[in-house]
Amino acid sequence: MEKLRGACIVGQSGGPTAVINSSIYGAIKTALESDEITRVFGASHGIVGVINNELFDLNMEDPKELALLQYTPASALGSCRYKIEDPEKDESDYKRILEVFRRHDVRYFFYNGGNDSMDTCEKISRYMQKVGYECRIIGIPKTIDNDLCCTDHCPGYGSAAKYIATSLMEISKDTAVYDIGAITIVEIMGRNAGWLTAAAALGRNSLEDCGPDLVYLPEVPFDLEKFVDDVHRRYINDRNVIIAVSEGIRDNNGKLISQYSLSQCNQQDAFGHVQLGGLAAFLTATVKARTGAKVRGIELSLLQRCAAHCASKTDIDEAFLAGKVAVESAINGETDKMVSFVRDYVNGKYVCRTALFPLKEAANLEKKVPLEWITADGTGVTKEFFDYAMPLIQGEPERPLENSLPRYARLRKVLVK
Amino acid sequence: MEKLRGACIVGQSGGPTAVINSSIYGAIKTALESDEITRVFGASHGIVGVINNELFDLNMEDPKELALLQYTPASALGSCRYKIEDPEKDESDYKRILEVFRRHDVRYFFYNGGNDSMDTCEKISRYMQKVGYECRIIGIPKTIDNDLCCTDHCPGYGSAAKYIATSLMEISKDTAVYDIGAITIVEIMGRNAGWLTAAAALGRNSLEDCGPDLVYLPEVPFDLEKFVDDVHRRYINDRNVIIAVSEGIRDNNGKLISQYSLSQCNQQDAFGHVQLGGLAAFLTATVKARTGAKVRGIELSLLQRCAAHCASKTDIDEAFLAGKVAVESAINGETDKMVSFVRDYVNGKYVCRTALFPLKEAANLEKKVPLEWITADGTGVTKEFFDYAMPLIQGEPERPLENSLPRYARLRKVLVK
């Protein structure tokens, strides 16, 4: 293997998670300790920062503060949702990136994001190869949605799952205190994949009376009439009913249920994605009208993706591992790959190993909850899902606190001149 | 002091908190260990359970499970929102209560709730005195709202405050990752008092860039035009703006802002209280229309009152203390009192002592955030508030977990025949 000396850039993209900074800490720490990597830069707001030559000099950071990144939610370097053009169609972004790479002798690029980010990595790599600029590019996965292909699971998912499971246990305790009965509808993130909504049920694994009674994932077409019947039946029998619904549930024709209501909450974001929201309100109004029950809608909203205070130690450690392996692999000559997780069991104990997957295969594909992990009536998940998800939420990190509130990393963020 | 032997009833009323069960654990444990109290009953769903003679025999519970009540959110015995009639107007409820007290030789009644519950205690005590039935009645305060008079603070507030402060820190990290700018409006509980909304700002005490930029409490009349101006100005300067608003903000005429919008979320509950909600959605739509910015509304909803996973150890311990002192005081001859907290500082260190206040004074009054603790422009809180609230959120309990999810108390709840 040929040694390649030069600087590296670490960047973050897409929606934040509770542990995405643990991944860049794994990458930054490994890069700072390596002989081949001469300088470590952080891209301000992902690829946009590279294009604009806005780079932080991470060699200037206090190592103690960098270590706190493991417990600091959301993208510490800043993120972006920039969709880079195909290099075959428009080279201008790539020319800027090449110029920045050349100026700082960047030979390594580590990009921490979801499938759009893997696509960005793949395009940059293709361009660099075309123009003959030697550079190794590795993607570091992240997403609370857990919908990346080519990996057993994604960093970020375990912590979000743990927060959702814990919150649903608390909600079911809270809503059960009165004897008048109530229906509570909790809306959970996930446009196309139901991994997070399925996690709402994890509490039932330990306490049978804790967590949602009914769970609706986007993998199963949603029938509003059947839903109202399911809920009403439970309400008659049990009085208190907790329901977890994915924001992405759609009817038989593929229409989002959240679009049934023309609520002011619904709108498109700047990039044409429908911004979800208002689903809980719509379902709440529908169930209230049809059952006459006391019905409350709750959206977990951003809380579920940034709840570092309820993170899984397994997730934090694995996120770190993904960043570390990305840098080590690149130093060892790998490029055009995404770090992926492979599940193993040693003496019945869950172990997470890593592998590398071609970026091309990882980009732009979504992994959904297998239909056989969803109960036949479409309102629950099976033991296979519990077996899959429980190892990912294990362990309590020793989060640093200051006056009993989180002590997050304070980075200097010195811009490179 | 005359010794009084007999059974006791412990009951819970009103909205749950993260630590209300720690209070009844303090009461139950002390009662079980006392010589004077012969049997310990739990009222199923508060005073309704007493009226219906639905009592749990708490002597039958496993002490280890009872101890887990300290970490179990919401009212383990069940709660109610039953408004008892004045004994002078209608004696029927009181006759039933007297009958149940007589049947089980109940000589002690401990009621864990907010100001309505203190009112209930006071009425029962008045009736028992009138009919000459010897019985000691002590109220144990609880409310996340922190609005009870005659006490420095209320059990339940510290944990809710800690959860809110932590969540706002996380939200402000999460929403700051993009460079396009965004406005986030977080709606927090509190019908008339702004204690919880003020707590949203506690994160700023440790990390200046963490937490809300603007805070609106119900103590200050809310001007929608000024609000939009405040927010817009911040947005122009800082791009990312986090706003904490109390659900109970009202305009100059006393009209709830949440009622400005005729949203389907608004409705009255069974007892004629306006059920708040929809405020975040209304303000979000208003700010979006007026600024053109990306605006997101978040309701902390039930999560803020049941988040035992983010409880304050100080709060858990003080809640226990309140229950313990209630029983000890009654055994020592006290009646018609509510346990209250008195703040002290020993060598500059916060100490919580207890006192007893006449139920009459505690009932039906609300304590608000002092106006001098709110900044002159009405959009923030002063150092006095931080000094007041910070001691209440301190300490991390050693919560028992099972597979990294909460392990709540499993009570047998054996009904007394």
pLDDT (tens digit, 9 = 90+) per residue, B36-55? 999 999 999 999 999 999 99
CATH number at residue A85: 3.40.50.450
User: Which letter, b or e, does each residue of A230-256 get, where b requires 16 or more Cβ atoms within 10 Å of its Cβ?
Assistant: bbbebbeeeebbbbbbbbbbbeeeeeb
**Angular region, A138: left φ>0, alpha ψ -120 to 50, beta rest:** beta
Cα–Cα nearest to A207, from A182, A173, A238, A159: A173
How buried is residue A368: exposed, middle or buried, by Cβ count under 10 Å (0-12/13-18/19+)? middle
Which residues are CB-neighbours of B369 under 8 A, at least 6 positions away?
B193, B194, B195, B198, B217, B219, B381, B385
* Contact partners, residue B182, CB within 8 Å, separation at least 6: B175, B239, B240, B241, B293, B294, B295, B296
pLDDT confidence band for A362 (50 / 70 / 90): confident
Which residues of B are less than 8 Å from A393 in CB distance? 403-405
CB of A239 within 8 Å of a chain B CB? The answer is: no
- Please indicate whether, in this complex, the C-beta atoms of B72 and A173 are within 8 angstroms of each other: yes
Whether residue A268 is found in the same domain as residue A214:
yes
Asked, for residue A178, whether it belongs to a domain, the answer is: yes
Which of A78, A166, A403 is facing B177, going by the closest CB pair? Answer: A78
State the Cα–Cα distance between residues A32 and A37, nearest whole angstrom. 7
Q: Does B262 contact chain A (CB < 8 Å)?
A: no
Q: For B142-166, what is the mean pLDDT?
A: 96
pLDDT of residue A310: 98
- The verdict on B213 and B298 lying in the same domain is yes
In a domain, B173, yes or no: yes
Number of folded domains that form chain A:
2
- Whether residue B303 sits in one domain with residue B166: yes
Q: B184 and B241 in contact (C-beta within 8 Å)?
A: yes
The answer to whether the CB of A396 falls within 8 A of the CB of B401 is yes
Measured CA to CA, the distance from residue A250 to residue A256 in angstroms comes to 4
B131 CB within 8 Å of a chain A CB: no
Is residue B413 within 8 angstroms of chain A, CB to CB?
no
Q: Which residues of A touch B170 (CB under 8 A)?
A: 73-74, 302-303, 306-309, 406
pLDDT at B362 over 90: no
pLDDT score recorded for residue B263: 41
Among candidate residues A258, A280, A307, the one where a domain is terminated = A307
Say if A169 is an interface residue toward chain B (CB within 8 Å): yes
Task: Evaluate whether residue B390 is within a structural domain.
Answer: no
A25 neighbors A75 (Cβ within 8 angstroms):
no
Within a domain: residue B317? yes
CB of A204 within 8 Å of any CB in chain B? no
Answer whether residue B320 is part of any domain.
yes
Same-domain status, A21 and A97: yes
A window 44-63, beta carbon within 8 A of B: 45, 48
DSSP A295-342: EEEEE-TTHHHH-GGG--HHHHHHHHHHHHHHHHHHHTT--SEEEEEE
- Per-residue model confidence (pLDDT) at position B262: 42
Residues in chain A within 8 Å Cβ distance of B81: 178
Q: What is the mean pLDDT of chain A?
A: 93
Q: What pLDDT shows up at residue A262?
A: 42
Q: What is the pLDDT averaged over residues B340-367?
A: 92
| CA distances in angstroms from B31 to A253, A397, B57, B210, B341, listed in the order given | 62, 37, 13, 44, 21
The C-alpha atoms of residue B208 and residue B118 are separated, in whole angstroms, by 40
DSSP class of residue B371? G
Element (DSSP H or E) covering residue A139: strand A136-141
Residues B163, B68 share a domain? no
List CB contacts of A346: < 8 A, sequence separation 6 or more: none
pLDDT bin (cut points 50, 70, 90) of residue A208 is low
Are the Cβ atoms of A170 and B309 closer than 8 angstroms?
yes
Looking at the structure, do residues B290 and B316 belong to the same domain, yes or no?
no
Determine, for residues B80 and A179 on separate chains, whether the beta-carbon distance falls below 8 Å: yes
Q: Which residue has the higher pLDDT, A204 or B92?
A: B92
Q: What is the distance in angstroms between the Cα of A3 and the nearest Cα belonging to chain B?
A: 35
* Separation of alpha carbons B31 and B323, rounded Å: 10
For range B132-151, the mean pLDDT: 95
Confidence label for A261 from pLDDT (cuts 50, 70 and 90)? low
For A:302-331, CB contacts with B below 8 A are 302-303, 305-310, 312
> Does residue B412 surpass a pLDDT of 70?
yes
Does any CB of chain B come closer than 8 Å to the CB of residue A301?
A: yes
Q: Is residue B370 part of a domain?
A: no
Q: Which residues of B197-218 are buried (b: 16+ CB within 10 A; e: fewer)?
A: bbbbbbbbbbbeebbbbbbbbb
The pLDDT of residue B270 is: 40
Domain boundary among A307, A334, A353: A307
pLDDT at A265: 37
CA B232 to chain centre: 34
Are B303 and B259 part of one and the same domain? yes
So what's the pLDDT on residue B265? 37
**Residues A166 and A140 occupy one common structural domain:** no
> For residue A207, what pLDDT is reported?
61
Which residue in A79, A281, A393 is closest to B264 by CB distance? A281
B85 and B126 assigned to the same domain: yes
> Which residue of chain B comes nearest to A16, CA vs CA?
B174
Greatest CA separation for chain A: 72
Candidate from A45, A298, A390 with C-beta closest to B179: A45
The answer, for A285 touching chain B at a CB cutoff of 8 Å, is yes
pTM, whole model, 2 decimals? 0.95
Local confidence band at B260 (pLDDT 50, 70, 90 cut-offs): confident
Catalytic residue among B93, B119, B145, B336: B145
Closest Cβ opposite residue B173 in set A73, A207, A402? A73
Does B327 share its domain with B296? no
Residues of chain B contacting residue A206, judged by C-beta atoms under 8 Å apart: 402-403, 405, 407
Per-residue H/E/C for chain B: CCCCCEEEEEEECCCCCCCHHHHHHHHHHHHHHCCCEEEEEEECCHHHHHHCCCEEEHHHCCHHHHHHHHHCCCCCCCCCCCCCCCCCCCCHHHHHHHHHHHHCCEEEEEEEECHHHHHHHHHHHHHHHHHCCCCEEEEEECCCCCCECCCCCCCCHHHHHHHHHHHHHHHHHHHCCCCCCEEEEEEECCCCCCHHHHHHHHHHHCCCCCCCCEEECCCCCCCHHHHHHHHHHHHHHHCEEEEEEECCCECCCCCEHHHCCCCCCCEECCCCCEECCCHHHHHHHHHHHHHCCCEEEEECCCHHHHCHHHCCHHHHHHHHHHHHHHHHHHHCCCCCEEEEEEEEEECCEEEEEEEEEEHHHHCCCECCCCHHHECCCCCCECHHHHHHHHHHHCCCCCCCEECCEECCCCCCCCECC
* Confidence label for A275 from pLDDT (cuts 50, 70 and 90): very low
Give the residue numbers spanning the domain of B284: 158-307
Over the stretch A85-94, which tens digit does the pLDDT of each residue have?
999 999 999 9
pLDDT of residue B2: 77
- A377 lies in some domain: no
Q: CB-based contact (8 Å) between A82 and chain B?
A: no
Please tell me the predicted confidence (pLDDT) of residue A271. Answer: 39
Q: What is the pLDDT of residues A136-156, one digit of tens each?
A: 999 999 999 999 989 999 999
Look at residues B271, B287, B307 and tell me which one is the last residue of a structural domain.
B307
Does residue B372 fall inside a structural domain? no
Q: Which among B128, B116, B1, B10 is positioned nearest to B59, based on CA atoms?
A: B10
Here the ipTM equals 0.95
pLDDT tens digits for range B67-79: 999 999 999 999 9
A412 touches chain B (CB under 8 A): no
pLDDT in tens, A304-340: 999 999 999 999 999 999 999 999 999 999 999 999 9
| Whether residues A169 and A212 fall in one domain | yes
The reply to whether B145 belongs to the active site is yes
3-state secondary structure of A287: helix
3-state secondary structure of B272: coil
From B166, B300, B408, residue closest to A405, measured CB to CB: B166
- pLDDT of A218 above 70: yes
Is A417 buried (19+), middle (13-18) or exposed (0-12) by CB count in 10 A? Answer: exposed
Q: In DSSP terms, which residues pair with B358 in a beta bridge?
A: B337
- The size of the A-B interface in CB pairs under 8 A is 199
CATH number of the domain encompassing residue B272: 3.40.50.460
For A266, which residue in chain B has the nearest alpha carbon? Answer: B285
Domain shared by B332 and B360, yes or no: yes
Best A45, A185, A404 residue to mutate vs chain B (most B CBs within 10 Å): A404
Cβ of B203 and A405 within 8 Å?
yes
